[in-house]
C-alpha cells in the first residue's frame, strides 16, 4: 500500500538547534547522524544502559515493520504508536537529569515526530466524513484518506527506525546505524523533513 508520497513533513528545528547548542558541547568519539547535521558525542554509562533497553524493547514492535492494508490495521497502528510514545516519555523522565545528552535528544526526536504525525492524523480524522460500511456498519475511511494514513505511517516508520539506529550507537550495540527495522534502513529521507534555518554553532 505504499505510494511513495510525502503527505506531511517533520519539523525537527528545535531538536537540531539543541543538538548544536547543548549536545555538541559533550564532544566525544561517537558520531550521531541526524537530518542535515552530524555531531560527535560522549554518552555516559547511564545513557548507554537506557539506550540498550530502548533498542531491545522497540526493535521488535510490530507497528514499526508492519504494512497496513485496511482501516483495522490503521487503528491498531495508532494504538501501538500511542504505547511507544508513552514508553519514550517514561524514558525521558528517567533521563531528566541528562537532558543535555545525546540519548534524551534522540528520544525527543522520536517523540516529536510521533506528536507531529498525531497532529496530521487529527486533520485526516476531520476528513473521514464517510457513511457506515454497508456490510459491517462501521466507519469506513475514504480511499484517499486511507492512503494518506499509509503514506504518513511509512515516513514515520523510517524516522523512528533511523533514530533507533542512532540510539544503538549510543548503546554501543552491534546494530545497523542507518536504521534498526529491516525495511526502513538507509540514509535519512530528507524530503520528509522541513529544511531548518541556518543552525547555531555549539557556543552560540
pTM of the model: 0.87
CA pair distance 52, 180, nearest whole angstrom: 13
The proportion of the chain whose per-residue pLDDT surpasses 70, expressed as a percent, equals 86
What phi and psi values does residue 165 have, to the nearest 5 degrees? -60, -40
pLDDT at 136: 40
Q: How confident is the model at residue 172 (pLDDT cuts 50, 70, 90)?
A: very high
pLDDT at 202: 55
Q: Which residue has the cell 542535515?
A: 36
At residue 102, does pLDDT exceed 50?
yes
Mean pLDDT for the stretch of residues 186-197: 92
Residue pair 52/167 in contact (Cβ under 8 Å)? The answer is: no
The proportion of the chain whose per-residue pLDDT surpasses 90, expressed as a percent, equals 49
CA pair distance 64, 24, nearest whole angstrom: 29
Q: Is 190 left (phi over 0), alpha (psi -120 to 50) or beta?
A: alpha
Q: What separation in angstroms does the CA of 48 have from each of 54, 81, 128, 167, 170? A: 10, 24, 43, 9, 6
Query: Does the CA dihedral 36-183-111-53 come out positive or negative?
Result: negative
Tell me which of 159 and 61 has the higher pLDDT: 159
Q: pLDDT digit string (tens) for 61-98?
A: 877 777 767 777 888 888 889 999 999 999 999 999 99
Amino acid at each position: 500500500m505504499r505510494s511513495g508520497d510525502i503527505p506531511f513533513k517533520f519539523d525537527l528545528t528545535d531538536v537540531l538547534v539543541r543538538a548544536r547548542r547543548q549536545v555538541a558541547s559533550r564532544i566525544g568519539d561517537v558520531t550521531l547522524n541526524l537530518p542535515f547535521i552530524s555531531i560527535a558525542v560522549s554518552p555516559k554509562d547511564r545513557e548507554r544502559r537506557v539506550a540498550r533497553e530502548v533498542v531491545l524493547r522497540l526493535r521488535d514492535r510490530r507497528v514499526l515493520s508492519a504494512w497496513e492494508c485496511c482501516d483495522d490495521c490503521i487503528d491498531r497502528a495508532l494504538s501501538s504508536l500511542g504505547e511507544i510514545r508513552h514508553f519514550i516519555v517514561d524514558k525521558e523522565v528517567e533521563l531528566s537529569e541528562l537532558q543535555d545528552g545525546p540519548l534524551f535528544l534522540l528520544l525527543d526526536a522520536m517523540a516529536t515526530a510521533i506528536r507531529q504525525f498525531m497532529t496530521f492524523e487529527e486533520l485526516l480524522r476531520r476528513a473521514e466524513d464517510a457513511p457506515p460500511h454497508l456490510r459491517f456498519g462501521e466507519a469506513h475511511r475514504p480511499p484517499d484518506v486511507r492512503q494518506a494514513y499509509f503514506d504518513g505511517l511509512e515516513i514515520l516508520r523510517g524516522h523512528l527506525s533511523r533514530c533507533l539506529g542512532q540510539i544503538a550507537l549510543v548503546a554501543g550495540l552491534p546494530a545497523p546505524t542507518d536504521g534498526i527495522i529491516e525495511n526502513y534502513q538507509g540514509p535519512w529521507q530528507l524530503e520528509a523533513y522541513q529544511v531548518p534555518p541556518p543552525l547555531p554553532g555549539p557556543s552560540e
